[in-house]
Amino acid sequence: MAQETSTYGLRPEDLARLLETGLSDGHLPPAQRQIHGKAQLLEAMLTGTLPFDTATADALPAIVGRLCKDLLPLEGKSVGEALLDPGSKVEVLKRIKEYGKRIGQRERTEAEHAAGTAVYYGAIASALVHHDERITSHSYEYLRDAFRNLSGQPWVPGPLSRLLADARKACDRQSK
């Protein structure tokens, strides 16, 4: 039986702050604390689900027939699982991309910007690798550089780093 997890309704960024408070990393040098904070926030975002879309809630009477599909686009998966799953639909990856973009643009903290950016490019990478579809207007050359930079970051978990590296190779093939 799969183990169920709960964040008790906390947003990923709030959960990361809570984890950061609870973990004693004061003995780490500042650069390591920064990496640790980014890694925690990204992990919280990847293990969470997409936030509920209030526009969808407002339109609820019109979409009752499609309730599960619209409100639960990840079909019980976490954001990270959806990024890594070749069966994730492109529409779901587009929603994840927009979610990452919103988080990354807030720039409350450097960790939030970094984690949001990783989710944003993770969704683009997943669409490229699993569907051979580019869901952004960025050029393949631009994406290749972004994927190379992100996949080499110590705070990006291995599976996401490998997806980004695979997407970089896909960009290399497309730009030739």
pLDDT value for 176 = 73
DSSP structural state of residue 137: S
Structure tokens at 62: 């019109």
Structure tokens at 56: 């969808």
For residues 19-34, average pLDDT: 61
Residue 146 amino acid letter: A
pLDDT, one tens digit per residue, over 69-99 is 444 556 678 899 999 999 999 999 999 999 8
> Which residue bears the tokens 């990452």?
100
If one compares 153 and 25, the residue with the highest pLDDT of the two is 153
Sign of the C-alpha dihedral, residues 175, 95, 101, 61?
positive
Number of CB atoms found within 10 A of residue 91's CB? 11
Output the pTM of the full model. Answer: 0.73
pLDDT value for 17 = 62
Q: Is the pLDDT of residue 9 over 80?
A: no
